[in-house]
A and B are shown apart, each in its own frame.
Chain A
Amino acid sequence: MGEENKVTLYGMWASPFVRRVEIALKIKGIPYEYVEEDLRNKSQLLLQYNPVHKKVPVLVHNGKPIAESLVILEYIEETWKNGPKILPEDPYERAKVRFWASFIQQQLFDSIVSAAKSSGEAHEKAMKELFEKLTVFEEGMKDFFPSGTPHFEDENIGFLDIILCSLFGYRKAQEEANGLKILDPERHPLVYSWVTALNEVPVVKETLPPHDKMVALIQFLRRNAPH
């Protein structure tokens, strides 16, 4: 690959944030080099490219680094104008997408992490909070899917689809590793059917972390979590 338009993604196989960027790059058909980082032994390049947070993902385009997955997604959308669009054209529709992306990021992600890390009474409380937030999300999503069932026959997925994949990507591994069931088809039928439909889309399937490896990682982290 020539230096002109060279794209490198620094990531980690289990990171949902890295996965977002991978999906976006694949949707747009952007060729890229992937560099796997060992987060316990970060490379000099990573520390140089993301000195503020020292985290993955980092996208490097023509030698210039960008960090923070949602910032990277907006950058990808604005830079590669040919190919499928990730965000809607209309500013109000875009605002709705960004609002719910922020909700998923700030409300749902944290709730799932709390639920996964806690036990006993704290866990019960965390699960209750998660389900309440998922209900708010379910209600909000009715606006996006007025007919009720998300379809992706044309395989055109967008910003919210990408972020949802990254949120629920570990669902099956979490269930197997520690019995955590975060998505209930009875309680949240729309979100459930949405995630199920997304999991059939090729670019989503391709980027799903290997199941057994994920189960092992979750179990390892749980055993070694500080008490």
Chain B
Amino acid sequence: MTSSTMEEEVKLLGAWPSPYSYRVLWALSLKDIKYEYVEEDLSNKSDLLLKYNPVYKKIPVLVHGGKPISESLVILEYMEETWPQNPLLPQDPYDRAMARFWAKFGEDKSPIFMAIFITVGEEQEKAAKEAKEQLTILEEQALGEKRFFGGDKIGLTDIVLGWLAGWLDVIEEAAGLKLLEAETFPRLHAWVQRFKEVPGIKEQLPDRDEMLVYYKQKREMLIASVTP
């Protein structure tokens, strides 16, 4: 088996408005990689998707020179190794470990945030409290005084947590509560604004109005299914 070279064809199977899909779109954009985008209809998955990700049948899938890679964090590490320009990870092994630690933290804690969207009443209040605890950890320990989680420039952790910048406020509005308030989380709030302005990210953010319609619909369906 020969290795793919940087020049071989790149294809991304994704779906709007998945934040996981956007992680890869951002990395492609930041590294200035040419690619073909394939929008998947998740209610009617293509044969291509089923062939390229038989284990999970999910997006995103990056296909490089015909070889598929699934799982967004695995894809990001692959991209970093294959296209080293505009690195997403620092050089120093300890700093890389810290980036991966916080990326994993962000990943592991995302069900807690999803919980506020899929619950109501007391359960939702409990989920909101837990979510705020995670935001506090991110604010104080992950971000601290840095401009970005990656330091002076955005990196892997920023990309993995990017959904907080592009999606959280829409989900908050659809779910009817506020988590990331500027007064409570000034650093995270500032990071959100900064993140959305980064060239490469700015042009690749889903349309807020369209997302609001999408998430509001989902929320209504969820409430209908849990309300007796």
Q: Which residues of A contact B (CB under 8 A)?
A: 51-52, 61, 64, 66-68, 70-72, 74-75, 78-79, 90-92, 94-95, 98-99, 102-103, 136, 140
Contact = CB atoms under 8 A, between A and B. Distances in A.
B19 to A, nearest CB: 18
Contact of B101 (A68, A90, A140): A68
B78 A94 contact: yes
Given A52-B141, A75-B93, A75-B96, A94 B77 contact: yes
B126 interface: no
Interface string B66-77: 010111011101
Given A51-B141, A52-B141, A78-B96, A66 B101 contact: yes
A87 to B, nearest CB: 10
Interface residues of B, number: 27
Contacts of B141: 51-52
Nearest to B99: A71
Contact of A75 (B71, B77, B97, B105): B97
A67 to B, nearest CB: 6
B73 A102 contact: yes
Interface of B: 1, 3-4, 55, 64, 67, 69-71, 73-75, 77-78, 81-82, 93-94, 96-98, 100-101, 104-105, 137, 141
A81 to B, nearest CB: 10
* Highest count of chain B CB atoms <10 Å: which of A75, A79, A92, A136: A92
Nearest to B91: A78
Contacts of A98: 71, 73-74, 77
B69 A71 contact: no
Nearest to A89: B3
A92 B10 CA distance: 14
Given A98-B77, A99-B71, A91 B100 contact: no
A152 B149 CA distance: 41
Contact of A71 (B4, B64, B97, B137): B97
B104 A95 contact: no
Given A52-B105, A66-B101, A91 B93 contact: no
Given A68-B104, A92-B3, A92-B78, A75 B94 contact: yes
A14 B176 CA distance: 44
A39 to B, nearest CB: 19
B3 A71 contact: no
